[in-house]
Structure 1
Amino acid sequence: MLAQLFTDAAEACGGFSPLTATLLLKAADDLCSGGVTTRVMAGYERDRMGTVPGLRFTAALHRLVLEGRAPGLAKHYPSVGGSPHLETLWDDVLPVLHEHTDELRGRIGATVVQTNEPGRSAPLFGGLQVAAQHAAAVAGRRTPFPVRLLEIGASAGLNLHPDRIAYRAAEDEVHGDPDSPFTLDPQWTGRPEADLTRPLRIVDREGCDLNPVDLSTEDGRLTLSSFVWADQLDRWDRLQSALELAALDPAPVQRATGPNWLAERLATPVPDVLTVVWHSVVWQYVSPADRAEGRAILAAAAARATPEAPLALLVYEPRRTHTGYEFRLLLKTWPAGASLRLGSGGGHGIPFTWEQQSWD
């Protein structure tokens, strides 16, 4: 039931974004009563949970606000200087839904969830340092392997630049690129089991996505911005800085399915680099068939890996626990066969606790 999916999404973000949670709960009530939201969401009644129709709905509204076409609603949106008044929020949403019904319905149908949260670069940076240094030790190298970074579900490619960010882990502790236009507070507890003073060298970076976002266009930048919860200004600021950084040297993101794209890039081992396959909070959107095919492709590539041409899988995905979900950073390396759980953190990569242990 669509209203239940909206309610579930509201519960997931309730502790983080009161504005988004209120929108979703009010929209769920409106769906149940047959209000205007039923016309906005017409055709999407059978959308599955993984497509997160509620967040596509709130993003479509946010897009109108960002474009300056919903001034009565904008006063509730901190992303454009407003301040939420949750008691009257829905009263100001209703006129927008009535005026823009067809446009909102079209955008909801044409858009997939694209957060491309740059905060996830923080655990990625630490994970790559562990992987590159671990692979070097196995190969008997004095220096860490340079990295060839391949991202599945890369969206706009914002997380393909982890080496170009300044990570301010403490007042007098900065890792990565201290001259970067993007300074990120990783909110780390502990540190990765790696020498963070060693530079992380990424010599090749590219990604794939079924619906890549083109950062060179205003439409692409607005799409990403619209999916940020409007009352989370820290995330909003991170995204704007990440967009600025990515514009300096955009990473290529090809429109392709993960298995097909990965099969081409893993067909032949590349010597003298560590090839890292990376994905974050994308697994829920991948079909069971593509998951199985991707695992088979990775297993075949792992069998071809050598100490001089190693391979790693680094993922940041939610895992179900007895209390809900936990986002874990997991690393597998070949040919060493190491399986490590490096730590866990928030869904947006921040905060993060480093706690390395074996992973079965």
Structure 2
Amino acid sequence: MTRDSAAISVFTVLAELFAAAADGCRDRSPLTQRLLTDAADDLRQGGVTAKIMAGSECDREGTVPGLRFAGAVHRLVLEGRAPGLAKHYPSVGGQPHLPTLWEDALPALNAHADVLRQRVLATVVQTNEPGRSAPLYGGLMVAAQEAAKAAGRHVPFCVRLLEVGASGGLNLRPHHVGYQLPDTVLGDPDSLLVLDPEWTGRPPADLSHRLRVVGRAGCDPAPVDVSTEDGRLHLSSFVWADQLERWNRLRDALDLAATDPVRVDRSTGPEWLAHQLARAERDVLTVVWHSVVWQYVSPADRAMGRAVLADAAAKATPLSPLALLVFEPRRTDDGYRFELLLKLWPAGISLNLGHGAGHGTPFTWDVTPWE
């Protein structure tokens, strides 16, 4: 096999990952689907996309190289560096015309190939989707009340929230978000961010209680400073440009973050979590939370994180309980389903609270054992 044919073979494998990412956008983002489909064809032919993805040829599926490429291109548009492409991007006022999308993308890809390559190499997918605050809020209400019942208390626990893979920390303020239901608004009705959670059913909890969050902390291998323009652009670039509802939701979440700063520490997770869990607080439920990050965590860090959590769980008491609340994709016969899972110690409660779209809404509350 010649060097050129070997390179084409490698990029063919990468092209399949692009095609899989494109399929994941089906019926949700026609613009991103078409961009990634055409980019996959360009990869197979050794075109400019191969130059941009050089150095990422052997990336594993979980790093989603196609979405990193799409995010880098979107950022060019947001920065005003691809005017010919911008006319297709609703996030900057454009209107997609899919038959000519790739034709209009090529000049920008060729002109900025080196910049795009560096961004693809240096970044990870960080949607930090604020819509996930909706299932998180409901899950926290359930956790605080179930832990109280197990301890013989009539009042739900206050919550200390620890988020692993927090990105920009947008989901570390669920008590400051409003959740518009047909008959009421949960959380903060005066919030800068009011979500339609699109719930089918309701959380198995008394929603008249107020969620009391008394502590928050987060970590991420590459934390995003959402107080800066660079950080805001970074998160915005990963929103699919033709999903204006998500785009506007992120704008509101960033505005809320500016009024309520939360620090996100730079850490892969296990050591940070061990440090946080070394301190147990009486009359407080400590909740470890993560959402759609597990695929990015190395096997070693997964094992270390489980061990840290198991050690803390063994030390939990009825008056200093511990919870794990996660919203992650789980494999099914038809592919994947995003499920909200809750464990409580020492109560020994283990629940699958329901399932929803990857961005948190819509969500169906359907409580079953977590097996």
- From 291, 296, 303, the counterpart of 1:292: 303
Give yes or no for the alignment of 1:231 onto 2:223: no
Matches within 5 A, 1:28-39: 28-39=40-51
Q: 1:51 deviation in Å?
A: 1.0
Q: 1:217 deviation in Å?
A: 0.8
Give yes or no for the alignment of 1:19 onto 2:31: yes
SS at match of 2:337: strand
- Name the counterpart of 1:316: 327
Matches within 5 A, 1:135-146: 135-146=147-158
Q: 1:268 deviation in Å?
A: 3.2
- Name the counterpart of 2:355: 344
- Name the counterpart of 1:302: 313
Give the TM-score, by structure 2 length: 0.96
- Name the counterpart of 2:100: 88
Matches within 5 A, 1:1-360: 1-170=13-182, 172-360=183-371
Deviations 1:53-105 (A, max 9, x none): 11111111110111111111000000011110000000000000111011111
Distance 1:198 1:39 in 2: 55
Distance 1:101 1:323 in 2: 37
Distance 2:255 2:208 in 1: 25
Distance 1:200 1:342 in 2: 18
Deviations 1:123-175 (A, max 9, x none): 000000000011111112221100000000000000001100110021x3110
SS at match of 2:205: coil
Distance 1:146 1:93 in 2: 51
| Structure 1 unaligned blocks of 5 or more | none
Give the counterpart letter for 2:122 in structure 1.
A
Distance 2:54 2:317 in 1: 53
SS at match of 1:158: coil
Distance 2:315 2:53 in 1: 48
Give the counterpart letter for 2:342 in structure 1.
L
Q: 1:249 deviation in Å?
A: 1.2
Q: 1:262 deviation in Å?
A: 0.5
Distance 1:162 1:147 in 2: 11
Detail structure 1 runs of 4+ shifted over 4 Å in the superposition: none
SS at match of 2:336: strand
Distance 1:222 1:265 in 2: 30
Q: 1:358 deviation in Å?
A: 1.5
Distance 2:257 2:110 in 1: 37
Distance 1:14 1:335 in 2: 43
Q: 1:356 deviation in Å?
A: 1.1
Give the TM-score, by structure 1 length: 0.99
Give the counterpart letter for 2:52 in structure 1.
V
Deviations 1:258-278 (A, max 9, x none): 101000011232111000000
Give the counterpart letter for 1:216 in structure 2.
S
Aligned length: 359
Give the counterpart letter for 1:336 in structure 2.
A
Question: For the aligned residues, what is the CA RMSD?
Answer: 0.7
SS at match of 2:367: strand
SS at match of 1:42: coil
Q: Percent identity?
A: 69
SS at match of 2:115: helix
| Structure 2 unaligned blocks of 5 or more | 1-12
SS at match of 1:143: coil
